Amino acid sequence: MTKYRWMKTDTASIMFSCLSSKKWGRTFRMAAVFKDHDIDEAILRKAAEDIMPRYPSMHTRIRKGFFWNYQEFTEALPEIREENNRVLTPIAMREDNRPDFRIVYYKRRVAIECAHFLGDGKGASEYFNALIMRYSELCDNPDSEYILTEPTEGELSNAFAEYYIKDGEKPDEAAVKAYHIECEMKKGFMQFIFAMMKIDGLHAKAKEKGMTITEYLAAALILGTMHHAGKPINEPIIIAIPVNLRRFFPTESVRNFTVQSKIVFDSEGRTDWTFDEVCSKIAGQIKKNTAPEELQKQLNKFGGLVNNPVLKIVPNFIKQPVLRFSQKKTHDGFTTILTNTGNSDFPPEIAAKIERFDGVNGDTSGYGLVSTCSAVSCNGLFSLCFSVCGHDTSWPKECVRVLSSQGLDIRVESTHGNGGN
């Protein structure tokens, strides 16, 4: 009999998995669109088989334990199928033995849709990039051999635990209720709207304002939010920005290792803000909030929560609702989330075949957030995706109009191509 293999969830996965049920789970998606090639399922399946031993942490599924959820290793391939009209459906607790992600394709596009407890964007992109590369190699030469490098223990480690300082300083932050976008949410229905632009143009615009691309986009989301509200907003508009901690705390881990930084904007009851004024007000916030000592405090906060001796011994069925409540309270403090996973680099021979990449946030209605954004770039093209929990596209419309009014050339595509169904 094969030995039962499992591992503890990483610290962030504890939070992600507490909200998971049979009907809903926190997910994200990465997609690559090839230039001139329709995806071949048989080759895709072979590529997934070849790279499976290299990425064991992806090939796990979440299970309920008595005290904590945990991840069970599986030797089954993920679900691999053609896409249908429901993109990025929840990956929830199931009874089959497949890992908690799926590979889907449609015409020139291939995507992975992951449960967030498998890892963050950085970790999952290592797997996805490897899948794309192996797929390309097999397309060129079906007999090519896959050179397997063994995964390291470091890749499977819980980096949160490595950097947690017991009794270390925690952030001194009072709970703040953020403005929530007023759009009708429809649970169970998602649409995704992609705004594409040249990365050079976007970078130049951000640089003119002395900002990073992420800050520049956040300014557009903030002004778009105010235009959308159409009335004075009393609560702060708060954009949550996941920060890849690997930049500050080196680790090999391919699991979750991010915390949320924030950009906070107080509209002071005004409705006549200009884009320049918003930019001036928020410039530099990310740099300040991502000083290593501030990030360490966040690590200590999460570590303190999961290492709390009382919380540890509380049975899972009591712990889960408490953690779920804490997650919802946390997300009361955000207007939206803006995830920027940066540039996806490939060797030139692979990059030449790929037209673009998309990053997509999954359903956040479980947190009470109607719409969030995810961004990624590849081959000079920047893709900003608005994930909308419902039919109402009025908020992304205002945000994209802010960007286009700044002189950016933007192309828009949608999963519901003709104005939403």
Among 42, 76, 165, 322, binds other proteins (CB under 8 A): 76
4 binds other proteins (CB under 8 A): yes
Nearest to 342 by CA among 294, 307, 378: 378
CA triplet 174, 241, 154: central angle to 5 degrees? 105
One of 22, 41, 42, 97 touching other proteins (CB under 8 A): 97
CB of 87 to other proteins, least distance (A): 7
* Amino acid at position 380, single letter: G
Quick one: which of 14, 93, 183, 197 contacts other proteins (CB under 8 A)?
197
Part of the chain binding other proteins (CB under 8 A), chosen from 93-101, 133-141, 277-285, 291-299: 93-101
Alpha helices in 173-315 (DSSP H): 199-208, 213-229, 275-282, 285-289, 292-306, 309-313
Residue 83 CB, shortest distance to other proteins, in Å, is 5
Q: Which of residues 117-156 bind other proteins (CB under 8 A)?
A: none
* Cα 278 to Cα 266: distance, rounded to the nearest angstrom: 10
Helix axis angle for 213-229 and 199-208, nearest 10°, is 80
Name residue 172's amino acid: D
| The one among 196, 199, 305, 350 contacting other proteins by CB under 8 A | 196
Check binding of 293 to other proteins (CB under 8 A).
no
Query: Dihedrals φ, ψ of 169, to 5°?
Result: -65, 140
Distances (CA, A) of 392 to 53, 270, 318, 397: 42, 25, 36, 10
CA-based angle 194:198:200, to the nearest 5?
Answer: 140
Decide if residue 188 touches other proteins (CB under 8 A).
no
205 near other proteins (CB under 8 A): no
**Residue 239 DSSP symbol:** E
Alpha helices by DSSP H, 290-333:
292-306, 309-313, 316-332
Mention every residue, 6+ apart, whose C-beta is less than 8 A from residue 417.
none
Binding mask of the shown chain, residues 331 to 370, with x at each position contacting other proteins by CB under 8 A: ------------------------xx--------------
* Residue 67 near other proteins by CB under 8 A: yes
Is 273 a residue that touches other proteins (CB under 8 A)? no
| Count of residues of this chain found to bind other proteins when the rule CB under 8 A is applied | 63
**106-114, 266-274, 293-301, 327-335 -> range binding other proteins (CB under 8 A):** 106-114
Q: Which residues between 18 and 57 bind other proteins (CB under 8 A)?
A: 33, 35
Contact between 66 and other proteins per CB under 8 A: yes
Nearer to other proteins, 192 or 367 (CB): 192
Nearest distance from residue 248's CB to other proteins, in Å? Answer: 29
**CA-closest candidate to residue 165, choices 307, 44, 315, 316:** 307
Query: Are 94 and 189 a contacting pair, CB within 8 Å?
Result: no
Among 63, 207, 328, 329, binds other proteins (CB under 8 A): 63
From the CB of 355, what's the least distance to other proteins, in Å? 7
User: Based on the number of CB atoms within 10 Å of its own CB, is 329 exposed (0-12), middle (13-18) or buried (19 or more)?
Assistant: exposed
3-state secondary structure of 111: strand
107 binds other proteins (CB under 8 A): yes
CB of 262 to other proteins, least distance (A): 27
Q: How far is 387 from 114, CA to CA, in rounded Å?
A: 15
* 230 is a site residue for other proteins (CB under 8 A): no
Phi, psi of 403 (to 5 degrees): -65, -45
Burial class (CB in 10 A: 0-12, 13-18, 19+), 201: middle
Cβ closest to other proteins, residue 190 vs residue 241: 190
Residue from 37, 46, 198, 227 touching other proteins (CB under 8 A): that is 198
Q: What's at 26, amino acid-wise? A: R
The residue ranges that bind other proteins (CB under 8 A) are: 1, 3-6, 8, 33, 35, 61, 63, 65-68, 70, 72, 74, 76, 79, 82-87, 89, 95-98, 106-109, 193, 195-198, 312-313, 355-356, 381, 393, 396-397, 400-401, 404-405, 409-420
